[in-house]
Structure 1
């Protein structure tokens, strides 16, 4: 489920590179990898929280929607901070700016698309895949720790 955000990273980065007339090169690939890391971390936040809520609510769809809402602010803060940090690099100004600009542009495009995918598509995929699962906790720790 977490990997459903990766196609959004690739598509967003490619669209950003296409719109800015930047090329695919080592720098842009590194930008895609950086965006993938942030995207997967955001998806893990949503899925982990949704799994706890699914057991509590006994409804995968409600758990996915509530989880995306609860994690909205941390995900937006992480993504927007990284996008803001990449704007100077993406502008291509300064010494060797043309060489490093594709990295910043790929990160910005990948993060915009993956943030939307994590908040809109991932909860739907989670609800679809977990709707028939049981409600027992997957923890290996016994409930009674006093014995």
Structure 2
């Protein structure tokens, strides 16, 4: 976890508003779910497009406002969150706000002195990034 993400979580924990503390507690639960090996799909971890830049988001959708942790994989199973943003401030897909946050992610990554992010180019198979207990989509067997 990069410092901007760590600082934001620390501030969220000590908020004077109960609703805000719940939002941050839910984010910490989502992060713990990933770390502890819970089932991961793109409802929790999603690679942002275009894939070649290796930007990912960890999603915490409830309670609102939902949060998005931007980050990259340093190696398989090692996601490094760089920073967090409220979803309602990001606009629609491909908005300037989304694209700006991808660049912020790269800046924090570089400031932390991390190596080039892990990539599975050209296939970008979800299960190569998260190697156990992961499926990009939930599928129901008939």
Please indicate, yes or no, whether the TM-score normalized by the shorter chain is above 0.5: no
Q: Which has the higher strand share?
A: 2
Q: Relative CO higher for 1 or 2, CA cutoff 8 Å, sep ≥ 6? A: 1
TM-score between both structures, scaled by the size of structure 2: 0.29
TM-score between both structures, scaled by the size of structure 1: 0.29
Point out the structure with max Rg over C-alpha: 1
Q: Which has the higher helix share?
A: 1
